[in-house]
Amino acid sequence: MTTLPSPDRHNQYLLPAALALLIFIGCLRIVLDNSKNTRLFFRLAGGGYRVLRRPIRVSKDEIIEKGCDIFDGKWVWDNLSHPLYTEKSCPLLVKQVTCLKNGRPDSYYQNWKWQPDGCNLPRFNALKLLEILRDKRLMLVGDSVQRGMFDSMVCLVQSVIPEGKKSLKRVPPRKIFRAEEYNASIEYYWAPFLVESISDHATNHTVLKRLVRLDSISNHSKQWEGVDFLVFESYVWWMYKPTINATYGNLNNIQEYNVTKAYKIALETWANWIDTSINSHNQKVFFMTMSPTHLWNWEWKTGDGGNCFGETQPIQHPYWGTGSNLDVMGIVKDVLERLRVNVRVLNITQMSEYRKDGHASIYGERKGKLLTKEQRLDPKNYADCIHWCLPGVPDTWNEILYGVLLQDYRKF
Ligand SMILES: *[C@@H]1O[C@H](CO)[C@@H](O)[C@H](O)[C@H]1NC(C)=O
Ligand SMILES: *[C@@H]1O[C@H](CO)[C@@H](O)[C@H](O)[C@H]1NC(C)=O
Ligand SMILES: *[C@@H]1O[C@H](CO)[C@@H](O)[C@H](O)[C@H]1NC(C)=O
Ligand SMILES: *[C@@H]1O[C@H](CO)[C@@H](O)[C@H](O)[C@H]1NC(C)=O
Ligand SMILES: *[C@@H]1O[C@H](CO)[C@@H](O)[C@H](O)[C@H]1NC(C)=O
Ligand SMILES: *[C@@H]1O[C@H](CO)[C@@H](O)[C@H](O)[C@H]1NC(C)=O
Ligand SMILES: *[C@@H]1O[C@H](CO)[C@@H](O)[C@H](O)[C@H]1NC(C)=O
């Protein structure tokens, strides 16, 4: 007991040390600021040069405790910290997700914070994220659910960047947000099956007729090469029917595959690309598990044949809907475990399962257009219980992604 220095004695040493550190950081900052364009370099043993990164201060409460499963937890009401932005503060939001503007009467869905059971998530800090992304590219690859995550990410960071120093461009199948002063880009890439398909046109894709090339990915993957942070997701496009038309090899040999079998083959094609093309030293890969749908309300209450329409509160009891296919989840787990490259799972399925209240419902779009008055009167047929309102659930996926990137940056 007595060997421990008293807090006072401790402080005697801490104060000068802290001052010295502050002065050091101050000098470092001046050097760094003066070298805005020339940036500091230091020589590596091998003879190469490496850019010295600007330090990010990571406080104690931003550290995720080791061993904590951040995907295991609950939604807590917190209208002080959430939402992290508003529809008005993010003019870049597309009308597909601006549910309030589109007439949604309640805004409770914006006020929930994800609270892991074993630890806290760091509070989202756009400046720190931009620092992590300095001279780098973050790319989200997948379908329109993933596009929602992209839109969310753009909103989360854009407000700290002055006018004229940011841009959002459409370069199909990509959308690219740039933060000039950081030379950072946040991108979205449309590839609803990850592998090639006849639905790959970013704006004019066939929805009813689907044909997937299970063994072809290079048309897409050549545009993923060298990207620093990649986040993949693919699910809902597979789940249209129990079988799906696909080819393997010969393009003329079209066969109907059991969806789970097709998904497995496609994911293996993707995995093969990951293992042969990703350099783990300077690239990081994430795979986001399925975003749940809420199509049948009898699954969470005594339903009336309705869906997510009219839901204003998260589910508070253990819940897993039939929309999140366990066979597919198992395939994802198996394939990722067998990879040589470390791919991090963003296992957002369970947490999002609770959020029956978060979908666009009748306050979104169908076929690129807001619902008409008549369609809104028929939520059973027209409510969108797949996509999410923003601000909303995808912001939390990004808070988690940010949390993980911040921990990695700290350890680097
Ligand atoms: C936040 O939530 C509390 C508790 O429900 C409520 O009393 C308060 O009015 C809310 N504040 C705002 C700004 O919405
Ligand atoms: C800007 O970022 C790209 C990657 O996104 C990188 O290849 C390039 O070297 C960066 N430019 C500078 C001047 O650092
Ligand atoms: C892939 O690219 C090739 C050459 O550009 C093209 O012929 C082929 O149709 C593309 N595949 C798909 C699925 O779009
Ligand atoms: C969309 O694609 C279809 C079939 O490929 C084509 O007939 C149609 O002209 C395209 N529409 C637009 C607006 O490009
Ligand atoms: C597969 O394609 C055939 C021929 O176009 C079509 O009749 C069948 O309905 C398709 N199957 C599925 C599951 O879409
Ligand atoms: C597809 O395969 C899975 C797993 O092998 C099986 O559980 C499921 O019943 C199959 N579905 C169909 C429609 O054959
Ligand atoms: C994701 O979490 C669920 C439990 O919520 C688990 O059953 C599943 O195996 C996990 N998926 C992966 C790919 O790790």
pLDDT single digits (tens) 238-284: 999 999 999 999 999 999 999 999 999 999 999 999 999 999 999 99
CA distance 137 to 185: 5
Q: Where are the beta strands (DSSP E) in 224-329?
A: 229-232, 243-247, 255-258, 284-288
Tell whether 75 is covered by a domain: yes
Tell whether 54 is covered by a domain: no
Q: Is 256 in the pocket of ligand 5 (CB under 6 A)?
A: yes
Q: Is 369 in the pocket of ligand 5 (CB under 6 A)?
A: no
State yes or no: pLDDT of 298 exceeds 80: yes
User: Based on the domain organization, do 261 and 320 belong to the same domain?
Assistant: yes
Percent pLDDT > 70 in the chain is 87
pTM for this one? Answer: 0.88
User: Based on the domain organization, do 45 and 89 belong to the same domain?
Assistant: no
State yes or no: pLDDT of 203 exceeds 70: yes
Range of the domain at 44: 14-49
The residues that bridge with 74 in the sheet, in sequence order, are: 115
State yes or no: pLDDT of 400 exceeds 50: yes
CA distance 112 to 114: 7
Number of domain units in the chain: 2
Query: What was the pLDDT predicted at 412?
Result: 60
Tell whether 298 is covered by a domain: yes
Q: Region 206-234: what's the mean pLDDT?
A: 95
User: Based on the domain organization, do 282 and 321 belong to the same domain?
Assistant: yes
Residues within a 6 A CB radius of ligand 6 = 242, 258, 260-261, 327
User: Based on the domain organization, do 250 and 291 belong to the same domain?
Assistant: yes
State yes or no: pLDDT of 4 exceeds 50: no
The residues that bridge with 243 in the sheet, in sequence order, are: 258
The residues that bridge with 213 in the sheet, in sequence order, are: 196, 247
The residues that bridge with 126 in the sheet, in sequence order, are: none
State yes or no: pLDDT of 156 exceeds 90: yes
The residues that bridge with 114 in the sheet, in sequence order, are: 75
User: Based on the domain organization, do 27 and 108 belong to the same domain?
Assistant: no
Q: Is 62 in the pocket of ligand 3 (CB under 6 A)?
A: no
User: Based on the domain organization, do 232 and 366 belong to the same domain?
Assistant: yes
Q: Is 158 in the pocket of ligand 7 (CB under 6 A)?
A: no
User: Based on the domain organization, do 320 and 399 belong to the same domain?
Assistant: yes
Cis omega before residue 391 (within 30°)? Answer: yes
Ligand of minimum distance to the alpha carbon of 138: 2
Structure tokens at 105: 């009467």
The residue nearest atom 12 of ligand 6, judged by CA position, is: 258
DSSP one-letter string for 212-226 = EETT--HHHHTTTTT
Of 2 and 208, which is predicted with more confidence?
208
Query: What was the pLDDT predicted at 313?
Result: 97
- Kindly give the pairing relationship between strand 284-288 and strand 229-232: parallel
User: Based on the domain organization, do 353 and 259 belong to the same domain?
Assistant: yes
Q: Is 246 in the pocket of ligand 5 (CB under 6 A)?
A: no
The residue nearest atom 6 of ligand 5, judged by CA position, is: 245
Residues tagged active-site: 144, 384, 387
- Kindly give the pairing relationship between strand 365-366 and strand 369-370: antiparallel
Say if residues 127 and 397 touch (Cβ distance below 8 Å): no
User: Based on the domain organization, do 24 and 168 belong to the same domain?
Assistant: no
Give residue-wise pLDDT tens across range 13-59. Answer: 444 444 454 444 444 443 343 333 334 444 344 333 444 567 788 99
Average the pLDDT over each of 22-26, 117-121, 131-135, 267-271 and give the range with the smallest value: 22-26
Ligand of minimum distance to the alpha carbon of 216: 3
Ligand of minimum distance to the alpha carbon of 264: 6
Taking the CB of residue 290, how many other CB atoms lie within 10 A of it?
23
Tell whether 60 is covered by a domain: no
User: Based on the domain organization, do 23 and 139 belong to the same domain?
Assistant: no
Ligand 5 centre distance from Cα of residue 96 (Å): 30
User: Based on the domain organization, do 395 and 300 belong to the same domain?
Assistant: yes
Q: Is 243 in the pocket of ligand 5 (CB under 6 A)?
A: yes
Give residue-wise pLDDT tens across range 165-202. Answer: 999 999 999 999 999 999 999 999 999 999 999 999 98
Tell which residue, 141, 151, 140, 97, has the closest CA to residue 388: 97
Tell whether 275 is covered by a domain: yes
Ligand 3 centre distance from Cα of residue 145 (Å): 24
Tell whether 384 is covered by a domain: yes
Tell whether 8 is covered by a domain: no
Tell whether 2 is covered by a domain: no
User: Based on the domain organization, do 141 and 110 belong to the same domain?
Assistant: yes
Query: What was the pLDDT predicted at 53?
Result: 61
Say if residues 118 and 367 touch (Cβ distance below 8 Å): no
Query: What was the pLDDT predicted at 3?
Result: 37
Question: Reduced to 3 states, what is the DSSP secondary structure of residue 186?
Answer: strand
Give residue-wise pLDDT tens across range 59-82. Answer: 999 999 999 999 999 999 999 999
The residue nearest atom 11 of ligand 2, judged by CA position, is: 135
Tell which residue, 141, 161, 360, 350, has the closest CA to residue 232: 141
Ligand 3 centre distance from Cα of residue 220 (Å): 10
CA distance 394 to 84: 12
Q: Where are the beta strands (DSSP E) in 364-411?
A: 365-366, 369-370, 384-388
The residue nearest atom 4 of ligand 6, judged by CA position, is: 260
Query: What was the pLDDT predicted at 40?
Result: 40
